[in-house]
Structure 1
């Protein structure tokens, strides 16, 4: 095909976007085609006409009164199952009546390299759909349309909280996006669309005015935010997270019956235990360890990891499977969980409850005295958990404080687990995975849903034990599937790019820390640097900068290893209740080891798995953003009554626009605009992660300890604005010329007024 020629989908999308009133000349001009390419274009247009995508006579995409094979449509609403509904854009209601409503489906992709073509459609977007009639359709929706291309995002649609106005009617919208902090919209009387005060709504901007607020109308009511418990609803809708299960998926879950012992090994006498957070609702992994009696492995252990057999209930192509793929993973908020699977599956049939029969896929691993895995085998079993333990509960027993439950388990179950972990830890330390020290905070809520306090949970050996056993099981899964040449999804983490390593090396040099100039960097190189700065003032800074140099972990059908864990092959196997990738790996094992007829189907080609990997990687990033934003909103609501208070924190981010500060007590992130830093002329030095004053040389750098005053809190947006009270400092080795005209200092911060209350 000549270079530059558009694909059929691109060509159809262009014709649709221009209302069909275009010819070969306009298309050639739009895509910059030459003479040879125009000949190929003519043949392509003939093929599109033969396929019914365009009309050769009128160059239209539809037959009047009927839906064509491809149609330009606008997404207008969601149905009761949460599915998107669209209507044709070019439709003559006077002649043909109300436009047909089309159930929107995501496209099955032929994309290359597993990359998504763009964001998923939402209300207000224009999409090109390939339509078909729904067999045995009931109600008004008689067509479905698979998205060929997202043509136009809803530029004027804004998500926010509706606040009712006065007696004159109407109201205003408080946007939920941090970027629109303080920019309210007016909702005129009659444009509320039934919205009540406190509702989360999607609005369409009608008009901008020279004076006064822009006006908008409510397009969709998304739910009530009458209590703080509903703050997670904002993130759910802002990120398009599916949170209402389709009726067919719920019906399938309700109809599921417990799996029997048939064709399974009976391991119900093995005292497997689950060890989870105290507030966990689903329990999908259990562990056991025993001294290996094989004389050839003296001092070794046999470790068993049993994982809930979700594949027994969620079959490929079923309604539950389709729903799980769309969701990709469970999403965890402080006030709720949006599960990947309905509770009948996740909290009942597949939850490894104590003293109840549950199907599982187990891996039995032989660990040598050096802590390395010598061999492993997978088994499809029926198990019965001996106990459900919390991390702190298991740790207390080992530390000499057993309770009524752990007392009987201490010698036969817990001590062998910890002894096996001690061996595994030796192998882990020898492997040298990346050892970043980045404490994770947890938000604890009151019964009313407000923030009670923010804590940094203690890291116990119980946590590390489960973590290391799960890593071993994940490695075993990847090794088995590679050996059997069965397609799978890897969990991969690429090495840092050469550019990021070079930038990190340049930054570390400013602190007299050397990162070796070598072709291949390993986690051990970073660990040596982290060990050098441990317990020093610059340790948080160095940890943050090394973290930012790393690539992002993702799912892929091709293996390029896991840099952070320093593993050659790695696949997620241990959480199929909450991660779709693990379900794929379970099915692959069932297929590879001939453990049943519900394994990975032949249709799961590398191309299909590439698409699945891209979708669930995007869903994971979506979930992480939604979880982070919800915590921001909860803490902003918590601090809203403390405007004017002074806090201690650390600079957690530096941009041309200003500084991001994380508070010590809550971990809350707030922003200090560069314009408020003082009377100097601040420039952004990317290499040093700092804003540096042109005249004074005063620097504010990533990791600096600071004192700030809270100036503004916007709970709905999850935004905090601070005023800096602390002095800057001079960076060693930074010459004044660099401060004024640094390589990365081409975008100066504006000069601002003196900082009131600044301490000297």
Structure 2
């Protein structure tokens, strides 16, 4: 078709327009009475006219369906279709045909001279697809209305997977939140799921949000190989841990001259580079969550190696001989067999007046004083154990028992001894180093402890010994929990290879493996902190009238930071004026924001 003339019908942006005049450009009339000057290439000729007004494009009666049936599967033109369907090619019939092209069911095309006529089957499929889209669009709009009203139906549950994916950290966004013009954040999705009743408070999203596995490794471990072991079954050995502990991996013995720390011989079953080793490295550590425990190693590891689970247990034993001041004189590291009795902290506390517990306690106090004299940082903030048992949330404050101090000091001494041994023998280990905190006076009481904790420098994993200022030790590595932490397992693999005549890994390999595990361990620690806080808040939801005491640890003008000792919970409280550090305040719970892990308290007026 030639360049459009005046009074011709054209398409401008796929809508009808009438050419009013032709100069260097075209002056066109638009629907609604508007006008515009455009280039000829900006329009598509549809009919040569004459067309005196766009008002002439009135609906016309015809046989468009019959024409489409006649030309099914063929390519034709607007003019031919108009003649067949309406008996004449006029501006009105040309526009009527083009409207059917735009509708896109029986006809499809981009230009008036190249229109494809769909077959009846194709047209039916297109019509069905459109009806399906319309149904989905209506259903989507109705779903959004129900969500906004907070009243979803049981059949809406699958659609809420969009919100759950974001709340669990599996998706980066949410179509529902986007449609509601709300922030696409996990906390917002969590809040909406609670409001809709799709999630109850008992849904803890934090471990999954951190990408942590929810089940033990599905791997088989080899049988424990027969190999020489020192028989230490004549020594009294005690595994002291929390009541209900499921993976006892350390125990202590004391003969008056040598301290022995026996540790589950995990490296005897989990060899470097094995499938279990690589899986443990990806997991980083065992997850100790209030509602479940997810082990780092396959379940057979604890069954075969847990100290005290069988009459005699295999171990890697650290023998440490010290002088009267606690200086290490000699270190022996040997694969062993031990006979272990399991005790809770409470049972050990009640027996501190007996030997060997009395001697071990005296030794622990001496070692602690030695560390403090070397600059160790002693941070004592309230602690609590949060557990979910048969759906019941239990919060058990952990008193500063002497038996806990006993175990922690002896485990630190084992880590120090292992680090010294490795340094002397030139063995690369994941040593742990820490720089001193700044020297500003943190103050006294809980506020001082809180400030001191905030000033602590992050620890670092290095492959050559460096001081750990926080512990007051010249060299240190974690060596007493190889069933629970990968860095401890790596330490055992290195030491065991050395003492049994094998070849330890080089420093670069140790650094790479420890670094990968440290990232995984950081995710586990974040999940454990968030999960403990989540279930503490669930407990508060179930005790909505809770009242108690809070201690100011960071005074501020508007909202001061407090610690609730009974719950080992940090929170903020709005107060008039600025309170004093360590001031004790009676507070009452006013609300819980579970998605944002916040508890709200106010000062209780007398």
In the alignment, is residue 205 of structure 1 matched against residue 174 of structure 2? Answer: yes
Residue of structure 2 equivalent to 1:459: 400
* Alpha-carbon distance change, 450 to 657 in structure 1, aligned in 2, over 3 angstroms: farther
Conserved? CA contact 2:555–2:578, under 8 Å: no
Corresponding residue for 1:705?
Answer: 584
8 Å contact from structure 2 (residues 317, 336) kept in 1: yes
Match of 1:562 among 448, 468, 475: 468
1:540 aligns with 2:540: no
Structure 1 residue ranges without an equivalent (≥5): 1-164, 175-183, 292-300, 400-409, 509-528, 534-538, 679-697, 726-757
Summarize the Cα distance change of 1:225–1:257 in structure 2 as closer, same or farther, 3 Å threshold.
farther
Alpha-carbon distance change, 609 to 702 in structure 1, aligned in 2, over 3 angstroms: farther
Provide the rounded CA distance (Å) in 1 between the counterparts of 2:465 and 2:151. 49
CA distance in 1, matches of 2:153, 2:575: 36
Q: 1:478 aligns with which of 415, 419, 424?
A: 419
Give how far 1:545 is off. Answer: 1.2
In the TM superposition, residue 565 of structure 1 has moved relative to its aligned partner by 1.3
2:562 counterpart of 1:661: yes
Q: How does 1:588-667 map to 2 (within 5 A)?
A: 588-593=494-499, 595-597=500-502, 600-601=504-505, 604-606=506-508, 608-640=509-541, 643=544, 647-653=548-554, 658-667=559-568
> Is the CA contact 2:385–2:396 (under 8 Å) kept in the aligned structure 1?
yes
State how far apart, in whole Å, the 2-side matches of 1:477 and 1:215 are. 48
- Distance verdict in 2 for CA 1:708–1:468, change over 3 Å: closer
Larger Rg belongs to: 2
Matched residue, 2:345: 391
Would you say 1:309 and 2:265 are equivalent positions?
yes
SS in 1 for 2:175: strand
Using the alignment, how far apart are the partners of 1:258 and 1:390 within structure 2?
Answer: 28
TM-score (norm 2): 0.66
Q: How many residue pairs were aligned?
A: 459
What corresponds to 1:494 in structure 2? 435
| d(CA) in 1 for partners of 2:474, 2:151 | 53
Asked whether the 8 Å contact 1:671–1:722 carries over to 2, the reply is yes
Distance 1:605 1:578 in 2: 23
1:718 aligns with 2:572: no
What CA distance in whole angstroms lies between the structure 1 residues aligned with 2:223 and 2:159? Answer: 44
**Deviation, structure 1 residue 567:** 0.9
1:19-418, aligned counterparts within 5 Å? 192-193=158-159, 195=161, 202=170, 204-206=173-175, 231=203, 233-245=204-216, 250-253=218-221, 256-260=222-226, 262-291=227-256, 301-346=257-302, 348-353=303-308, 355-385=310-340, 387-399=341-353, 411=355, 413-418=356-361
- Give how far 1:330 is off: 1.4
What's the CA shift for 1:440?
Answer: 1.4
1:269: Cα distance to partner?
Answer: 3.0
- Unaligned residue ranges in structure 2 (runs of 5+): 1-138
- Mapped to 2, the partners of 1:235 and 1:429 lie a distance apart of 36
Residue 619 of structure 1: how far off its partner (Å): 3.0
| CA gap 1:251/1:421 in 2 versus in 1, 3 angstroms | closer
The whole-number CA distance in structure 1 between the counterparts of 2:426 and 2:471 is: 23
Residues 375-394 of structure 1, C-alpha deviations (whole Å, 9 max, x = no match): 12111122232x11122212
Question: Secondary structure of the equivalent of 2:432?
Answer: strand
Q: Aligned partners of 2:411 and 2:183: how far apart in 1?
A: 53
Deviation at 1:704, TM superposition (A): 4.1
Deviation of the 1:579 alpha carbon: 1.0
The separation in 2 between residues aligned to 1:225 and 1:269, in whole angstroms, is 58
Structure number with the higher helix fraction is 2
3-state SS of paired residue (1:437): coil
Distance in 2 between residues matched to 1:419 and 1:556, nearest whole Å? 32
Distance of 2:145 and 2:422 partners within structure 1: 59
Provide the aligned C-alpha RMSD in A: 4.1
SS in 2 for 1:617: helix
Contact 1:443 1:451 in 2 (8 A): yes
3-state DSSP class of the match of 1:270?
Answer: coil
1:550 aligns with 2:505: no
Structure-2 change in CA distance of 1:707 and 1:615 (3 Å)? farther
TM norm structure 1: 0.53
Q: Do the aligned partners of residues 378 and 449 (structure 1) sit closer, same or farther apart at CA in structure 2, a change above 3 Å counting?
A: same
Over residues 191-250 of structure 1, what are the superposed CA-to-partner deviations in whole Å (9 max), with x where a residue is unaligned? 93584999975553237679775799999xx9x99776x64x41111212233345xxx2
Q: Distance in 1 between matches of 2:344 and 2:184?
A: 53
Identify if the C-alpha distance between structure 1 residues 276 and 713 changes in structure 2 by more than 3 Å, giving closer, same or farther: same
1: CA distance, partners of 2:455 / 2:164: 41
CA distance in 1, matches of 2:404, 2:436: 26
Which SS does the other structure have where 2:246 is aligned? coil
Deviation of the 1:561 alpha carbon: 1.1
TM-superposed CA distance for 1:450, in Å, is 2.8
